[in-house]
Structure 1
Amino acid sequence: MRTFAKGSHLALVSAVFVLGGCAIAPVTDDVAHISASNIARQVRCETRHAVIEALIGYLASPDNNRNKKKLDDYSFAIGNALKQAYRDDPESIRAFDPSQVTGFARTVTKLLYGTGIAYYYDLTGLETNNVDPTANLIRPTPITSLVTLGLSGNFDRQRQNEWSFTITDNFGNLVQKTSESYCENHLARTEDYAYPIAGKVGIAKLIKEFTLMSLFENLDELNKDVTTVKKGPPSMVQQLQFTTTIGGGATPTIVFAPTGPNLQATNVSFPVTASRKDTHQLTVGLYLDKGEAKLLDAARGPIYEGSLITASGGRAELGAAMAVQQFLALKIFKPAI
């Protein structure tokens, strides 16, 4: 029984080892060493950088300038000056205003600056720590027979924490009212494939597609009733979900040599497992302010033949948040097939 007590001590040591890495309320800091507030800041900075890249990329593009209807010479010159100034001093971008350019370029830049964006975060962490000891006992009898007894137990624990919050922005305010220092050391330059929410999440592609579809594809307002077509300011929603699972285990086992006729342990094992599952959902909604949407009718005609979106709806940030809310509602009530 002394050796059995040693095995129990080993199980306790293993349990302490597993418990040492536990969190009562699992959060992103535990694994990626980045807080929820810093994640939100990184995504905001990624959005700001994507808007600036889209703005300069359009205004300083020789390809766009070849088609004077898309980018006139005066706006092209402004774009190149803006590109050089931003390269020399990133803070200078805050002084740019869409009214500085002319023609269709003003429509495009006003579209960018008049777009609201809402980010809905759902960050869930789940930790599991299990200790499941087993023991096999035997007792030889005076006759040639053997009494055996198998024992098992479990000490299993799970802890889950979920944070959800919404942040709203306006592209124009992000560029003009957010300083470059705000994003210093808070701009993710690359994707993080192990823990995606901690790296770049791909906002630039969403902004590009939203702008192109708003201008040329009759992108409409998100509809609560998907069976009807409702003209309105364009909106677009993208939902990203990242899941990272980390786990491992060990099974220490002690084997005893039976002696004597008493009930005794032949082997004792202490399987220990630990896992961490992080599920992060980011829903991003874009919405064009109705005042800027009205400008598209007049400017888009010479560029693209076809009817244009009409103005309706609320302001940019509220509209973006409502687009996200409607998207989430559609997901909830979507019939399972």
Structure 2
Amino acid sequence: MDLAIFRNCQRIFSIALLGLGSCAINPVTDDYAHISASNIARQVRCEARQAVIDATIGFLADRTNNENKNKVDDHSHAIGLWLRDHPEAITTFDPSQLTGFARTVVQLIYGIGIAYYYDLTGLETNNIDPTANLIRPTPLTSLVTLNLTGNFDRQRQNEWTFTITDKFGDLVQKTSESYCTGHLVRTENFVYPIAGKVGLAKMIKEFTLMSLFENLDALNKDVVAVKDGPPSMVQQLLFTTTIGGGATPKIVFAPSGPNVQVSEATFPVTVSRKDTHQLTVGLYLDKGEAKKLGGVRTTLIGGSLLTASGGRAQQGAANAVQQFLALKIFKAPF
């Protein structure tokens, strides 16, 4: 078999492979998203930090909360307005500067712990399955054919797992604004989700509201034997991105002469990359801070709506209205 034929086939294969994408010995997030694992973790931390800042300022600066003196008094409201106009001052702000019920709520927010567990897996597959048909003309004008097949399949997988923990108060006060400059992503990335906004603000808002209003308990799968504990919540996000393609270069030769020769050769090529990213986020309220919830809940639900008279339907409607109004506590300032 002519060596030049196979060299030409190799060139065709190389062109096809380059068109489908490059190979990675160690598949990591940098390959396609062009963002490292450390930067992904940084973006998520900055997203959580901004969510805490928005919740804190939104609660203090909201006019409705100030009109209800049981929530935010004038002194605390003035601080909230100042922070809204000077958000860079949030790092020097301390909940002890507040007074009344507002101080208790913000101290609860700052006492929440958050943990992020990452499982980042990259799998790259490069398959080559060549085929060649050999022919040899015979004196009787017939052909002897031989079909040859082969495969050269490769897979490489990389998995990184790590955990980062924060406390809301430390995340705001001890993390400088410059740390998040250029690393705070405000939009989702639908092509490569882990590289964009992952939606922590919603979880943080729901956890805080449920801790204050819904008697949120510790994680407990055994609902028969309920045990009181500090509020906790876990959210798990799973993002899977698969990129792939294929090509089948083919060469057909015109047979000539009586020798064994190649009639045609094909080089099917498939290249795929699968990234599986799992982000598990846990929120937990410190035991010392959790003890304050009893008094806080009494203050929050002691309004006129929840003391409305009537049967279960009326009480249920009143509760629904109260919960709707409670959402204004953590209204974003912008």
Indicate the TM-score class for this superposition, using the shorter chain for normalisation: 0.7 to 0.9
Question: Between the two proteins, what is the percent identity of the paired residues?
Answer: 72
**What residue in structure 1 maps to residue 171 of structure 2?**
174
Structure 1 residues 50 and 141: CA distance shift in structure 2, 3 A: same
3-state DSSP of counterpart to 2:240? strand
Unmatched segments (≥5 aa) in structure 1 = 307-337
1:97 is aligned to 2:94: yes
Q: How does 1:1-337 map to 2 (within 5 A)?
A: 1-2=1-2, 4-10=5-11, 13-14=14-15, 17=18, 21-86=22-87, 90=88, 92-143=89-140, 145-223=142-220, 225-304=222-301
- Between stretches 203-212 and 98-107, larger displacement belongs to 98-107
Unmatched segments (≥5 aa) in structure 2 = 307-334
Could you report, residue by residue, the CA deviation over 1:49-99 in whole angstroms, capped at 9, with x for unpaired residues? 11000000111111222332222333222211221222xxx1x11121112
Write the letter of the residue equivalent to 1:133.
P
- Between stretches 242-251 and 117-126, larger displacement belongs to 242-251
- Mapped to 2, the partners of 1:282 and 1:20 lie a distance apart of 27
Runs of 4+ in 1 over 4 A off after TM superposition: none
3-state DSSP of counterpart to 1:210? helix
**What residue in structure 2 maps to residue 311 of structure 1?**
none
Write the letter of the residue equivalent to 2:251.
I
RMSD between aligned residues: 2.1
- Mapped to 1, the partners of 2:7 and 2:116 lie a distance apart of 54
Write the letter of the residue equivalent to 2:6.
A
- Mapped to 1, the partners of 2:203 and 2:6 lie a distance apart of 61
Write the letter of the residue equivalent to 1:106.
R
3-state DSSP of counterpart to 2:117? strand
- Between stretches 194-203 and 159-168, larger displacement belongs to 194-203
- Mapped to 1, the partners of 2:10 and 2:294 lie a distance apart of 77
Q: TM-score, normalised by structure 1?
A: 0.84
Q: Shift in Å at residue 288 of structure 1? A: 0.5
- Mapped to 2, the partners of 1:34 and 1:95 lie a distance apart of 31
Write the letter of the residue equivalent to 1:257.
A
- Mapped to 1, the partners of 2:132 and 2:254 lie a distance apart of 14
Write the letter of the residue equivalent to 1:186.
H
Structure 1 residues 254 and 263: CA distance shift in structure 2, 3 A: same
CA contact (8 A) 1:7 1:268 kept: no
Would you say how many aligned residue pairs link Structure 1 and Structure 2?
302
Write the letter of the residue equivalent to 2:40.
I
CA contact (8 A) 1:54 1:208 kept: yes
3-state DSSP of counterpart to 1:302? helix
Q: Shift in Å at residue 105 of structure 1? A: 1.2
Write the letter of the residue equivalent to 2:113.
G
3-state DSSP of counterpart to 1:125? strand
Could you report, residue by residue, the CA deviation over 1:255-291 in whole angstroms, capped at 9, with x for unpaired residues? 0112233322211011112111111000000000111
CA contact (8 A) 1:117 1:284 kept: yes
- Mapped to 2, the partners of 1:15 and 1:248 lie a distance apart of 10
3-state DSSP of counterpart to 1:168? strand
CA contact (8 A) 1:123 1:281 kept: yes
Q: TM-score, normalised by structure 2?
A: 0.85
Q: Shift in Å at residue 103 of structure 1? A: 2.3
CA contact (8 A) 1:7 1:254 kept: no
- Mapped to 2, the partners of 1:7 and 1:152 lie a distance apart of 18
